[in-house]
Structure 1
């Protein structure tokens, strides 16, 4: 099997079959942070396989000799040391640049929306007494955060009035987890990939699952210091509130499933299993190189 055929088969599996398998799996809800890494790893491996396949199509594989120089040549990495741009280097670079450009566009668009919304908050919001948040004079209970340079947590007057102190602090901890974990960057990566490859199951499912898993990861971080029942009750109260497009809200994914997960938690995976899965997620983007550059491709 040639390197191009191996890469095409790998891309088909990652782009179409892997998302269906991962969506049916139960372990992601037990380790949402690791599952997000797996989804992003699959996306990166898909882009890597396309870029390498483009290189092999432009410059068909030649006879390989032993040694590091031939390995670099087979992978197309010798072009990285060239001062000039050749077609064999430019085509895979353009393939890789397309999804990266979409991710950058998502970040720019979200940053623009956050700045506009932040300017409105400067005019209409007020600091919440004794809380690290701003209050909007609105009766519908809602809580969300705005990431970025001017990180803010926003809640409405309705949430301030309807949530008991324990529930209020629990949902604020959820939003703080979004900010501390910089979840908006991970969400933007999944969104940009989905926009770069519209209709691809990996993009569609990855965007949906990443958003839901990030909410679960923030839930898990919040319940380290707050009662699960308090956070579950708070989610039920603020379920009607929606975050702006540039923000991350506590109700950003199906609330019923998250409340059920909080009230009936499954046993977390063993730390060794989590580490192994995380390592696998980091290694997945390297598999296309092994397929096309390893002994099996000779």
Structure 2
């Protein structure tokens, strides 16, 4: 029974649930809670998948003790389940290594290029480029906030300050780590689950979070105008830019100043419940066996 429940949970959380949830656009009104919910769904899906495999192995080979009567069929089922579990875990570990290595290599290379080509003004790297763009490059060795000359020519003082606040909010909250975790899932399972849909939604949510931080206690109109001016620019790989996709949604959300506390609490409770369900099914059999 435990194996079946965990398998159904893994399949549901990997496909149908994200596909339905991403259509609930009102969830973006509480971006912090929404990110927590997406993280809980991703963690619960992985936990359920691994737990289903391990439960099947235990069921056919262990039980209340080592099962000598498991037989060839039981060992075959257990072996297959163990192999699939190891494949899932192995793909996640390999994807994590590859994504982390690639991102850090790209960022390190880009920071070196910026130090050679860009002019540093008041802690900001200014690139002589006509395309209006603003972005940040995170890194433990020193982050960079970058603005092109084209952006400086289009933004007034308030818009410029709002854009800098947006990029610095990304760096302060380490949104790059949030995106990296979902990129790992997308790299590990690009076709089998709704990972691309989830990654796109989380990218939008972290931009909304940075927008909210940038306008906290301030007039949101300068940032909204700046987003329109920067819409044509695209941040390089491994960076996070103020402009880009989700412009209409982000401007609409900037106009929504309501806190939506009830929705936020409800979404956080849902996140706890989503993560608690597979955890209970995975942990309960081990606790009962210890008792």
Give the TM-score normalised by structure 2: 0.84
**1:38 and 2:33 are equivalent in the alignment:** no
Distance 2:239 2:272 in 1: 28
Note the C-alpha offset of 1:27: 3.1
Match of 1:253? 245
Q: Distance in 1 between matches of 2:113 and 2:5?
A: 52
Please give the alpha-carbon distance, in whole angstroms, between the structure 1 residues aligned to 2:85 and 2:55: 9
Counterpart Cα distance in 1 of 2:217 and 2:279 = 43
**Equivalent position to 1:177, from 159, 169, 177:** 169
CA distance in 2, matches of 1:115, 1:288: 39
* Residue 140, structure 1, aligned to residue 131, structure 2: yes
**Residue 44 of structure 2 corresponds to residue 51 of structure 1:** no
Query: Which whole-Å CA distance do the structure 2 matches of 1:224 and 1:108 have between them?
Result: 34
Q: CA RMSD in A?
A: 2.6
Q: For the structure 1 residues 126 and 14, does the alpha-carbon distance in structure 2 shift closer, same or farther, using more than 3 Å as the test?
A: same
The separation in 1 between residues aligned to 2:107 and 2:177, in whole angstroms, is 13
> What is the match of residue 232 of structure 1?
224
**Alpha-carbon distance between aligned partners in 2 of 1:102 and 1:278, rounded to the nearest angstrom:** 28
* Equivalence map 1:155-174=2 (5 Å): 155-174=147-166
Alpha-carbon spacing, 1:20–1:141, altered in 2? closer, same or farther (3 Å): same
* Residue 289 of structure 1: aligned partner: 279
Q: Name the CA distance, whole Å, in 1 between partners of 2:231 and 2:263.
A: 33
Which sections of structure 2, spanning at least 5 residues, go unmatched?
66-78
Runs of 4+ in 1 over 6 A off after TM superposition: 86-91
1:199-220, Cα deviation, whole Å (9 max, x unpaired)? 2443121111010111011101
Structure 1 residues 226 and 9: alpha-carbon distance in aligned structure 2, compared to 1, 3 A threshold = same
> Hey, what's the Cα distance between the residues in 2 that align with 1:152 and 1:246?
12
TM-score w.r.t. the length of structure 1 is: 0.83
Distance 1:40 1:119, change over 3 A: same
Deviations 1:15-55 (A, max 9, x none): 12211221121332111121111111111111101111111
Shift of 1:291: 3.2
- Change in CA separation of 1:88 and 1:204 when aligned onto 2, cut-off 3 Å: closer
Q: Equivalents in 2 of 1:108, 1:256: separation in Å? A: 33
CA distances 1:250-298 after superposition (whole Å, capped 9, x unpaired):
1242212212222x3163321x542453354245233213235559xx9
Conservation of the 8 A alpha-carbon contact between 1:212 and 1:252: no
User: Please, which of 123, 144, 168 is the counterpart of residue 116 of structure 2?
Assistant: 123
3-state SS of paired residue (1:265): coil
Query: Does the aligned pair in 2 maintain the 1:211–1:252 contact within 8 Å?
Result: no
Residue 147 of structure 1: how far off its partner (Å):
0.5
Alignment of 1:260-279 (within 5 A): 260-262=252-254, 264-265=255-256, 267-270=258-261, 273-279=263-269
Change (3 A) 1:138 1:225: farther
How far has the Cα of 1:173 moved from its partner?
0.4
Indicate the residue corresponding to 2:95 in structure 1.
102
Following TM superposition, by how much is the alpha carbon of 1:105 offset from its aligned partner in structure 2, in angstroms? 1.9
Q: Is the 8 Å Cα contact of residues 22 and 198 (structure 2) preserved in structure 1?
A: no
